[in-house]
Chain A
Amino acid sequence: MTLAGYGLRRAGVGLLQILAVATLVFAFLEALPGDAAVAAAGDDPDPARIAALRQQFGLDRPVWQRYGDWLGGLVTGDLGASLRSGRPVVSLLGTAAGPTTVLALVTLAVLVPLTVALGVCAAVRAGGWFDRAVSSTTVALHCVPEFALAVLLIAVFALWLGLLPATAVGGGLLEDPALLVLPVVVLLARSAAAPVRTLRGAMIDALASDYVAHARRHGLPRWRVLLGHALPNAAAPAVQQLARTVDWLVGGIIVVEAIFAIPGLSAVLVEAVAARDVPVVQGVTVMVAAVAVLANLTADVIAFRLAPRAGVA
């Protein structure tokens, strides 16, 4: 199969996946007790007021009609407007996605080289003390829930030692990189284990392979054998694992944003769910699904390029 054909087919499947997710979330939101009008009325649940709000939000229209309108908008790139504020969902997400994107990209920018360094070094002396230390540390950190780790790190490094900011309050993430340290550490701690272990395993296999033995016999320098021959072959499964880590990161970031008061998608999503603001929840969902699909697609394409013989998951 050609790369282009493969990519197109995967993209088509991805679009269907996004649509399926959006439809499911719409159905779940419908199934939740109460609607945006009840949530807006809050502790002043005068039935007349709820009825007026329902009409104002267009919730008196049948469910299939609301879903159809939303779907029609989606096709033309219009995600609708928030029921509560009337703001277009696209502009709302545009504002909130900034900090979330920064957090995700910085985490990945550290995670990729970290994975390569730890995975390769652990594989070179598999079973040695470094390998065992990396394995036990990454697995142990993976087992700590992100909110627990965050609370611990804040208590020690911010409130006790005063070395780092306790939250991201009062500054831009890019203007003040110190704000990013603890959130990124928490995200890395949880996400490093799987890619590191995948790369280590693949590297061990690669180093034991015939082509590496061949390259060694030709007297190539050790680093060229490692990085030029073994790593590209071993990287394919690790890249795909990394894509799954991106899926996970989206969820992890939601927790981390809440704890560190980062004004990203987390706050928007939590509030929108509580307010039953369906278009906003749908918008976040489509965006998250698109990122996940895109990350996996990219990873698969890279893996396809790196090791066409290995086939594609």
Chain B
Amino acid sequence: MSSVTTSRRRLLTGLAGAALLAGCGSGATSAPGATPDATASPRRGGRLRAAFQTAGAKETLDPHAANLFVDGARSKALYDKLADFGADMSVQPRLAERFEPNADATRWRVTLRQADFHDGRPVTAEDVLASYARIMADPANRRAAIQLAAIDLGACRAVDGRTIEFVLKTASAEFPSATAAFGTWIVPRDATDFTRPVGSGPFRFSSFEPGKPLLLTRFDGYWDQPAWLDEVEFIPVNEETARVNALVGGQIDYAHDLATTSARTYAADARVRIVRAPGSAMHAFAMKLDRPPFDKPEVRAAFRLIADRQELVNTVLSGMGEVGNDLFGKGYQYYADLPQRTPDLDRAKALLRQAGAEGLKVQLQTAHAGAGLVDAATIFAEQARKAGVAVEVSMGNKDTFWRDTLTGGSMASYRSGSMPIHSHIATRLLTTSPQNVTRWGSAEFDGLYQKAQASVDEAARTAVYRDMQTQLHERCGLLVWGFADWIVGTSSKVHGVGQAPPNTLDWARFERVWLA
């Protein structure tokens, strides 16, 4: 009796797919998001109405259950982490004043700054340890658990009210970046109910009902510079077109996650301002090294030479992005700036001949599981044809795509949100990595990673990471063709919106936003 027709359902599920981009990993931007209008002087007051895609009735204000971008944005308004990420994924201390490792990076002493929760109680070492214990107790439902997995919780202790000694199970020179990861927000030690949440963030709770707007008001006792705004309202608007229409129609002031087509349409419209954050989403194809045809390094090398990255950026991203060089994290801390790969069909054909793979047929799995994935696959198939390779684009199910392609198939669309380069390596490129989609990994590569983690000397680590990236650039299974800008739109009266990738310090940092 339900008269939802097939075509309607298809339309809507497609729309929903675009909306469900999870807040991948631990994105972070920090470089004080350069704002184009830095000259104007900030004004206090007003309510910012910010529209995000939400999870509707199943959402919660429990920051440790955070999963979507909107969860990240709301959590950062209500809570703080020990640290956050700059735009280059470097660690920016927040609640932590300093991080001091021992010689082999197995123990870290963290000193907290003086900060208060919204109910007036100070943020203490006990609160931090209790928050981390709460996250680690439920790894299936708390994204951050894996980031904190190195902590030996039973051995950690509160040295005094504002000093914590963390003991790690294995050396981790990048431990501070774990405390900046998505989902590691600090809550009061006795917090169990998040219907009226209390945090130490720049805004305090006012009202909320799942699936409806969340209203927050300025917290005047914030330890950092208090917000300019009196209030910020998070409004659920799941359709991208509805967010754009509401913005242009003056019903909201900030629209998160816009499509490149909208950005182009309204680029010159006086009613809105388009803010683009470079280096936000990696776009790639993942080739699996443990099965034909990509078990042959020549085939992988040939595919890398087939890709016309500039064409992919120009068409799939409408030019709002930059080309990739088969490495994650362009522009981030530790990124190895190696010579840029460019298309070379003759060389690609020669490599294929050498591998005995002439007339190769490959299935490229893709799905509408994220913006641009299907377009990129289709265009790459065209490019491959010119090199005599038959790439057949195979459409999968958007809701299960990442699970399906983790183990199945030989080549698939791939994308990643921002995170530090060492996190990318740890979660995707070690023999023990749970999300090793390309099946890259060797004892030697694992050893290099461990060596870096045991070195508290940043220059030494940088050198090791460079070695690792040089190996990856030559032989790995990721064909990283581009990095998409992240696009938000604001009304023309909104100022102070940072150009920062999602889940970084200056992204959705509403305490720095003001209304003219």
Interface range on chain A (Cβ under 8 Å from partner): 35 or more
Cβ-neighbour of B3 out of A52, A169, A251, A285 (below 8 A): A251
Q: How far is the CA of A82 from the CA of B56 in the complex (A)?
A: 12
Q: Which residues of A contact B402 (CB under 8 A)?
A: 41-45
Is B60 in contact with chain A by the CB < 8 A criterion?
Answer: yes
For A49, list chain B residues within 8 Å (CB).
139-140, 434
Query: DSSP class of A's interface residues: helix, strand, loop or mixed?
Result: helix
Decide yes or no whether B17 CB sits under 8 A from chain A.
yes
The answer on a CB contact under 8 Å between B434 and A82 is no
| A39-B400, A53-B140, A147-B11 known; A259+B242 contact, CB < 8 A | yes
Interface contact A250-B241, CB-CB below 8 Å:
no
Which of A72-80, A212-220, A270-278 binds B?
Answer: A270-278
| Contact, CB under 8 Å: B8 / A270 | no
Q: Which residue of A lies closest to B241 (CB)?
A: A259
A39 to B399, CA, bound (A): 6
Asked whether any CB of chain A lies closer than 8 Å to the CB of B201, the reply is no
Q: Which residues of B contact A251 (CB under 8 A)?
A: 2-5, 8
Q: Which residue of chain A has the shortest Cβ distance to B271 in the bound complex? A: A159
A169-B251 CB under 8 A given contacts A247-B1, A250-B2, A288-B2 = yes
Which A residues are in CB contact (< 8 Å) with B243?
A: 261
Contact B397 A33 (CB under 8 A): yes
A276: chain B residues within 8 A (beta carbon): 399
Query: Is B51 among interface residues, defined by CB-CB distance under 8 A?
Result: yes
Q: Are A52 and B49 in contact (CB under 8 A)?
A: no
Asked whether any CB of chain B lies closer than 8 Å to the CB of A85, the reply is: yes
Q: Determine whether the beta carbon of A85 is less than 8 Å from that of B1.
A: no
Contact between chains at A17 and B13 (CB < 8 Å): no
Q: Which single member of A45, A56, A248, A250 contacts B140 (CB below 8 Å)?
A: A56
Residue in chain B with minimal CB distance to A255: B8
Q: Taking the complex as formed, is A154 at the interface, i.e. its CB lies under 8 A from any CB of chain B? A: yes
Are B4 and A169 in touch, CB under 8 angstroms?
no
Q: What sequence of 0s and 1s flags, for each residue 41-68 of chain B, a beta carbon within 8 Å of any chain A beta carbon?
A: 0000000010100011111100000010
Contact with B along A209-242 (1 / 0, CB 8 A): 0000000000000000000000000000000000
CA distance A158 to B363 in the complex (A): 45
Q: Which residues of B contact A201 (CB under 8 A)?
A: none
Question: Is B473 interfacial (CB 8 A cutoff)?
Answer: no
> A254-275: which residues lie under 8 A (CB-CB) from chain B?
254-255, 258-261, 263, 266-268, 270-271, 273-275
* A101 contacts the other chain (CB 8 A): no
Do A46 and B434 touch across chains, with their CB atoms under 8 A apart? yes
B31 beta carbon closer than 8 Å to chain A: no
The interface bits of chain A over 42-86 (1 if a CB of B lies within 8 angstroms of the residue's CB, else 0) are 111111111011001000000000000000000000000010110
Cα–Cα distance between A311 and B8 once the two chains are bound (Å): 35
A43, A154, A170: which contacts B235 (Cβ < 8 A)?
A: A170
A186 beta carbon closer than 8 Å to chain B: no
Assembled-state Cα–Cα distance A44/B182 (Å): 13
Interface membership of B342, Cβ < 8 A: no
Of all chain A residues, which has the CB nearest B68? A42
CB pair B238–A289 under 8 Å, yes or no, is no
Minimum C-beta distance from A313 to chain B (A):
16
Complex contacts, B2 vs chain A, CB 8 Å: 21, 250-251, 285, 288-289, 292
Residues of A within 8 A of B441 (CB): none
Contact B3 A275 (CB under 8 A): no
Asked whether any CB of chain B lies closer than 8 Å to the CB of A7, the reply is no
Choose one: B57, B238, B248, B406; the contact of A159 (CB below 8 Å): B248
- How distant is B66 from chain A, measured CB to nearest CB, in Å? 13
Closest to A159 in B: B248
Please report the C-alpha to C-alpha distance between residue A85 and residue B67 in the assembled complex, in whole angstroms.
13
Cα separation A289 to B22 with both chains bound (whole Å): 33
Instruction: Pick the most buried of A46, A250, A268: most chain B CB atoms within 10 A of its CB.
Output: A46
Interface residue B24 (Cβ < 8 Å from any Cβ of A): yes
| B3 in contact with A274 (CB, 8 Å) | no
Residue of A32, A267, A293 most packed against chain B (CB within 10 A): A267
Most chain B C-beta atoms within 10 Å of own C-beta, residue among A43, A162, A270: A43
Whole-angstrom distance between the Cβ of A156 and the nearest chain B Cβ: 12
The 5 A-B residue pairs with the shortest CB-CB distance in the complex, in nearest-first order: A166-B249, A34-B400, A85-B58, A52-B140, A45-B403
